[in-house]
Amino acid sequence: MYMKMEGISFRGLTFMLAVAFLVWSSSLEGCHGKVRSKHYWRKNRVASPALYSKKGKAHSHGGSHKGNHHGSASKTKPRPSHKTPQPLPRPVTKPKPNIPRSPPPQKEGHSIMFNVLDFGAKGDGKTDDTKAFQDTWTASCKVAASTFIVPSKYVFLVGPISFSGPYCQPDIVFQLDGTIIAPTDFKVWGKGLLQWLQFTKLMGLTIQGNGVIDGRGSVWWQEISPYDDPIDDEFKLLIPLNSTVQEKPPPPARSELVGKMPRIKPTALRFYGSFNVTVTGITIQNSPQCHLKFDNCIGVLVHDFNVSSPGDSLNTDGIHLQNSKDVLIYSSTLSCGDDCISIQTGCSNVYIHNVNCGPGHGISIGSLGKDNTKACVSNITVRDVTMHNTMNGVRIKTWQGGLGFVQGVLFSNIQVSEVKIPIVIDQFYCDKAKCSNQTAAVALSGINYERIRGTYTVKPVHFACSDNLPCTDISLTAIELKPLQELYHLYSAYCWQTFGELRTPTVPPIDCLQIGKPSSNQIQYDFDSC
């Protein structure tokens, strides 16, 4: 019995040891597999974001232990995910605040409008509207192709003002349909100003409309000023037929303001240093001095323009050009007390046609060379012009002692009626009773006159050229001038040191013109000096 129990105990012990070994072996394999699994996840932690989610899910639900319990993780590498890796989320940026902007100005057509009434102008002819005009300009100056409006049916009293650049936008339109009047209070003018309304350093400016600029200049005309142009030399040729005719027109009735206004008389409307400017439609009347002046401008267009002042208004040129180029003037009527159009030094490429002139002193080049200065004028055309009751027709006038030249001038198809002297060259221009002779002179060459016809009341032609620098290349074609004796003694044609050719017979005969060129070899024309 004992032996049996011993045997059974041995066998049972042996069986128990075998079972224990198997259990220990299985437990050891499972731990190795778990270790490999941990090593794999650590190695591929950065490989794919998709694996991060798998690992997190396995940790939370124990799926990793279940799969690795079969030993697959220790024998086979896991397949890479077939899903496209998703990029890391970008940082969220806050939207910029929506800043409200002021609405753009209202437009009419293609232009932004600025009306002087909206800026405080009264337009009653009594209130000083100068500031309102200045404020309107300040606003319109900032907008390209804007329109400055001076409305009709209003009268605006405006003092001296400058509508200036150069920082204004281009192509501004000054729409003048109302009336602008100048102040007659002498205190407004101080010691005197050279201009009343001035536009400076602008590009593409247009002044248009059917309005009026009234300089109210009668209070100025009766005062002789040292700044005035001299009285034309041709007055000394006006010898009356009887004592009832006066050489100079009587002065107008004196005003109570005479003697109080400054001696410097302003130009009504002046452009300075501007490009491509246009004046059309408007009327300038009764200017204290010049009505419209262009100084240092390039590209000037004036058409359908009117000047209206009495013939006895001293030094009231209609249009005055100085140091300006590429000028076109046409379809205009100019009535004033001095030159309808005055062309001064520095002008070239000037074309004038279809202009009515009178009363006035005609269309003139000059005076040039005053105080021994240099003057240069070239390429001037004046054609299809009518003149009635003017002092001169077409004229060139220079001072003795001047330098420079006038060349390339054409006066064509000029119709004159009761004009005192239709054709004039005067190189002895003088503002005194007598001027001393000087050797130097502005050279005149290439002056052509053709189809100048009508009536004269004093002299048909007056050519007075320099003794030391004669006029050359003067041509006359189809000149027909008939005398009309009304108030003054008549003279025949006069020529002095004038050389050229008669291309056709003239009426009356102009026999005084010397055919050909001067014989002196000392005559020098310095056409490159300007």
What CATH number does residue 507 fall under? 2.160.20.10
The residues pairing with 292 across neighbouring beta strands, listed in sequence order, are 269, 319
Structural contact between residues 278 and 208, judged by C-beta atoms closer than 8 angstroms: yes
| Residue 453 is assigned to a structural domain of this protein | yes
- Which residues 6+ apart lie within 8 Å of 489 measured at CB? 239, 240, 241, 458
Model confidence over 378-420: pLDDT tens digits?
999 999 999 999 999 999 999 999 999 999 999 999 999 999 9
- Which residues 6+ apart lie within 8 Å of 369 measured at CB? 375, 398, 399, 400, 401, 402, 403, 404, 441, 442
327 and 415 co-located in one domain: no
How many structural domains comprise the chain?
2
| Residue 254 is assigned to a structural domain of this protein | no
More confident residue, 268 or 81: 268
Beta carbons within 10 angstroms of residue 393's beta carbon = 30
pLDDT at residue 34 is higher than 60: no
Active site residue 361: yes
120 and 198 co-located in one domain: yes
| The model's pTM | 0.77
| Sole residue written with tokens 């204004």 | 168
Average pLDDT value for the chain: 82
Is the omega angle on the peptide bond into residue 417 within 30 degrees of 0, that is, cis?
no
Lowest mean pLDDT segment, chosen from 75-84, 202-211, 313-322, 487-496: 75-84
DSSP structural state of residue 488: B
518 and 467 co-located in one domain: yes
pLDDT value at position 306? 98
| Residue 247 is assigned to a structural domain of this protein | no
pLDDT value at position 373? 95
Q: pLDDT band for 12, please (50, 70, 90 cuts).
A: low
| Residue 244 is assigned to a structural domain of this protein | no
Q: pLDDT band for 486, please (50, 70, 90 cuts).
A: confident
Please count the residues of the chain.
530
More confident residue, 367 or 91: 367
127-137 average pLDDT score: 98
284 and 177 co-located in one domain: yes
417 and 509 co-located in one domain: yes
- Which residues 6+ apart lie within 8 Å of 516 measured at CB? 499, 501
Q: pLDDT band for 224, please (50, 70, 90 cuts).
A: confident
Task: Report the C-alpha gap between 385 and 392 in whole angstroms.
Answer: 13
pLDDT value at position 320? 98
| Residue 79 is assigned to a structural domain of this protein | no
pLDDT at residue 124 is higher than 70: yes
Which residue, of 338, 353, 385, is where some domain finishes?
338
At residue 441, what are phi and psi to the nearest 5 degrees? -160, 160
pLDDT at residue 107 is higher than 50: yes
The residues pairing with 175 across neighbouring beta strands, listed in sequence order, are 149, 208
Which range marks the domain in which residue 167 is found?
A: 109-222+263-338
Task: Report the C-alpha gap between 122 and 267 in whole angstroms.
Answer: 25
| Residue 170 is assigned to a structural domain of this protein | yes
Task: Report the C-alpha gap between 410 and 404 in whole angstroms.
Answer: 19
User: Nearest 10 degrees: CA dihedral of 40, 46, 50, 54?
Assistant: 40
379 and 486 co-located in one domain: yes
481 and 370 co-located in one domain: yes
At 377 the three-state DSSP class reads strand
Tokens of 144: 């390209």
320 and 373 co-located in one domain: no
71-86 average pLDDT score: 40
pLDDT at residue 33 is higher than 70: no
Helix ranges, 44-154 (H): 49-61, 63-68, 72-75, 130-140
At 315 the three-state DSSP class reads coil
Tokens of 279: 């004046």
Model confidence over 332-373: pLDDT tens digits?
999 999 999 999 999 999 999 999 999 999 999 999 999 999
pLDDT at residue 84 is higher than 70: no
- Relative to beta strand 124-128, strand 155-157 is parallel
67-89 average pLDDT score: 41
367 and 312 co-located in one domain: no
Which residue, of 306, 338, 370, is where some domain finishes?
338
pLDDT value at position 425? 97
| Residue 195 is assigned to a structural domain of this protein | yes
Task: Report the C-alpha gap between 50 and 460 in whole angstroms.
Answer: 111
Task: Report the C-alpha gap between 510 and 432 in whole angstroms.
Answer: 30
Q: Which of 341, 284, 290 is nearest to 315 (CA)?
A: 290
Model confidence over 142-184: pLDDT tens digits?
999 999 999 999 999 999 999 998 999 999 999 999 999 999 9
Max mean pLDDT among 49-58, 241-250, 427-436, 502-511 falls in 502-511
332 and 428 co-located in one domain: no
Q: Which of 335, 345, 245 is nearest to 287 (CA)?
A: 335
pLDDT value at position 239? 82
Q: Which of 394, 446, 432, 437 is nearest to 416 (CA)?
A: 394
Structural contact between residues 385 and 412, judged by C-beta atoms closer than 8 angstroms: no
Helix ranges, 200-330 (H): 218-221
442 and 505 co-located in one domain: yes
327 and 369 co-located in one domain: no
DSSP structural state of residue 233: G
| Residue 386 is assigned to a structural domain of this protein | yes
Candidates 291, 320, 361, 462; catalytic one? 361
pLDDT at residue 249 is higher than 70: no
- Relative to beta strand 403-419, strand 283-285 is unpaired
Task: Report the C-alpha gap between 50 and 84 in whole angstroms.
Answer: 9
